[in-house]
Amino acid sequence: MTRPGSLVDSHGRILRDLRVSLTDRCNFRCLYCLPETEAAQNFYRGHWAQMPDAAPIARQWVPRTQLLSFEEIERVVRLFVAHGITKIRLTGGEPLLRNDADHLVGKLAKISGIEDLAMTTNGFLFAQKARALREAGLRRVSFSLDSLDRDNFKKMTGRDGLNEVLQSIALAQELGFAPVKVNAVVIREINDHEIESLADFAREKNLSLRFIEFMPLDSARAWQKEMVVTGKEILARLQVHATRNTQPAGLIPVQPDNPSSTSKRWSFPDGRGEIGIIAPVSEPFCGHCNRIRLTADGKIRTCLFSVTEHDLRSRLRTGASDEQIAAWLREIVLGKEARHHIGEPDFVAPERSMSCIGG
């Protein structure tokens, strides 16, 4: 049922999901986002010769004065919830680099109407902050984990942090976060050989693991379609692996509990763990997208691949009323893109990388 005043775009999609980036800063340098390490440059040059021959890209972070304050974020979230948003996910960059993130969680957890308050993190700092986040009201957490091999993990993320991430995942389960999800971006010839072992890890640890196709959101603009391992390829390999090695009955399809879900899901016959595949490149799900994004510096993005950002921060800081902002948001949402154009001749990558947009 559509709530009065809900945000509805011109294609009839009702927005329910707000992604809130807390910072564009990150303590990882992942190949698919901020490929600034020498290893990243060597990988891209060695395979597709896309990286520049110069030194690693210099990162210019958003000045702290341009980041939304917690009070501003709380105001915006309240406004969105009053207009039908029910799911809030805190992202980055790495959201836990924002000091006192648990204080913001506490503010948001008190807002009536939020049905799902979650966070996506690389997990490196999570163990230090997990209890405070849980006590503040965070209920779900998703971790990025692209490799179970220490050397490959370092190559992909630019940091020797596999043990910290694994400890954080275990702690999240111990503290009762549920479900605990793990996201793995798959890149051909870098970690696609770990697809089966990651699935085994999900079953062993009773986790929800999502395999994600590699998208053109890296700061170096090095993405090439040949680097994408499609969802169909991932599923075919997992089905073969399940029937041959661990689960003779194969994987069991899970019916979506949300028509706007971005992932197709399968469970293991013994009921331990689950895998999902998010395939925005080969199997776009734009037709039922119900998301909108708020960047750390106060810009509204109606699509992950938008080439236009809408300045909310200036309105917040020049005295616009909630009613004025709400009217402006309704106008922005009406213009939400019908779909992205990845892989098409007219595709234009967003000016800012994933770390600036918010995951």
Query: So what's the pLDDT on residue 249?
Result: 66
Torsion over CA of 92, 101, 65 and 313, rounded to 10 degrees?
70
Distance CA 263, CA 256 (A): 8
Which region among 23-32, 82-91, 118-127 has the lowest average model confidence (pLDDT)?
A: 23-32
Residue 199 banded pLDDT, cuts 50, 70, 90: very high
Query: So what's the pLDDT on residue 248?
Result: 59
List the structure tokens of 316.
Answer: 């917040």
Q: What is the rounded average pLDDT of the residues 16-37?
A: 90
Q: What is the rounded average pLDDT of the residues 123-132?
A: 98
| Cα dihedral sign, 140-145-150-153 | negative
Taking alpha carbons only, the member of 353, 223, 263, 341 closest to residue 301 is: 353
Distance CA 8, CA 111 (A): 22
Question: Quick check: bond before 106 cis, omega within 30?
Answer: no
Report all structural domains of the chain as residue ranges with CATH numbers, in order of start: 17-357 (3.20.20.70)
Q: What is the pLDDT of residues 342-357, one digit of tens each?
A: 766 776 776 776 777 8
Query: So what's the pLDDT on residue 219?
Result: 67
Is the pLDDT at 56 greater than 50? The verdict is no
Taking alpha carbons only, the member of 306, 317, 348, 338 closest to residue 19 is: 306
pLDDT, mean over the chain: 89
Query: So what's the pLDDT on residue 62?
Result: 86
**Reduced to 3 states, what is the DSSP secondary structure of residue 138?**
coil
Q: What is the pLDDT of residues 313-345, one digit of tens each?
A: 999 999 999 999 999 999 999 999 887 767 667
| Cα dihedral sign, 44-50-55-57 | negative
Strands (E), 25-176: 87-91, 116-121, 140-144
With a CB cutoff of 8 Å and minimum separation 6, the contacts of 191 are 146, 147, 152, 156, 184
Is the pLDDT at 38 greater than 80? The verdict is no
Which region among 90-104, 134-148, 168-182, 304-318 has the lowest average model confidence (pLDDT)?
A: 304-318
Distance CA 328, CA 343 (A): 32
Q: What is the pLDDT of residues 208-258, one digit of tens each?
A: 999 999 987 776 677 788 899 999 999 999 999 988 765 556 899 998 877
Query: So what's the pLDDT on residue 58?
Result: 46
